[in-house]
Structure 1
Amino acid sequence: MHRKVVVALLLALALAAAGHRPALAGGGAAAVPDHPSSHGRRGAPADRYTDPFAYCAAVGTVDQPDGRWAGPPVPDAVVEGLIRAAGIPADTSREQLARTTFWRCMGGRVYACFVGANLPCQAKADTRRTPSPAMRQYCRQNPGADAIPAVVTGRETVYAWRCTGKRPTIVRQVAYPDARGFLRNIWYEIRPGQRG
């Protein structure tokens, strides 16, 4: 390949990587889709975001923010939306809540969970119907117990358990996994404009 052509191609690739539109041979600009940038400007590829709603709309589904997220670990819009969606008292410390909140994207929408009373935000739902060794031991030590506590069953289980004699048994299903396998009842959809 002719050296001038190679240099021109390398220059065009460098400009494209820097966000410029290289000129085409016919004098026009190469087609680069216009997307809102992370600051709402048009004309640059939107590969970094500071708005959680724009971010989730763009990335679709991720279990935690990835390298395309350029904002704070837990944005204010998520904290404010969570206060409203979860019915958290409005006088709750936003700073404290942000420290105990996780958020993710599912189906292009924003979802958030706060650890609160030891809620397993980052764990997938446990749908196993087989009792664990800890549950078996608990029932051997507490035969006939009406409930096996969450500290024994694990907070991820979707079932309420009891001891039938010395045997752990399922009472009923109390939670359900969402499309990504997280506990649906502790993750809240956060919508734009929600305020506490």
Structure 2
Amino acid sequence: MAKIFQVSVRAGMTRVVEPIARALLRAGVTPNAVTVTGTLGVLVGALGFGARGHLVAGALIVTFFALTDLLDGTMARISGGSTKFGAFLDSSMDRVADSAVFGAVAYWLATQNDHSGVAAALVCLAAGGLVSYVKARAEGLGMTANVGVAERTERLLIVGVGGILTGLNVDPALEISLWLLAAVSIFTVGQRMTHVYRQARQLQPDGQG
């Protein structure tokens, strides 16, 4: 059910984003330029606002620019598909943005002496990297790992909601959201590793364990 809802939301967002993508392409803007711009926007929101305690503004800026992840993908599809470098750049910039978001959150929580929250943010950072690494490694070996309850968009939304609520003095919403995210991220790593294990077993010649 969650996957169906996720697909429906993405389909609806694509219909909204597609006219914007076409307009940018007509103006000569490339998908790679949108990727880099989106990352710079996330860095501004995370480091310029979130790390300084402006959680609502930071979360809104990060969410807005994180949506460019959908925009550049739509532009690439319309223009004939993503190039190998475009895919590499997109994945690399995602890791930069994610590191900035959770690093900023951890820094701010440390200034508040919230040691539990700092620990949760660091677990989210590590687990989020693993979620992406497992997928990339599987694809490098000729398999897939497109499964899991906590993909990148969902992870950013969870921490964003927690940041907004904490910024509106709803405590301890951010810490709760981080521990929730840590749990679902670790679960997603397990889902993807299990999915790859099953594929690997099917690809093995008979008689080999």
**Shorter-normalised TM range:** under 0.3
- Please give the TM-score of this superposition, normalised by the length of structure 1: 0.26
More strand by share: 1
Q: Which has the larger radius of gyration?
A: 1
More helix by share: 2
Larger RCO, structure (CA 8 Å, separation 6 or more):
2
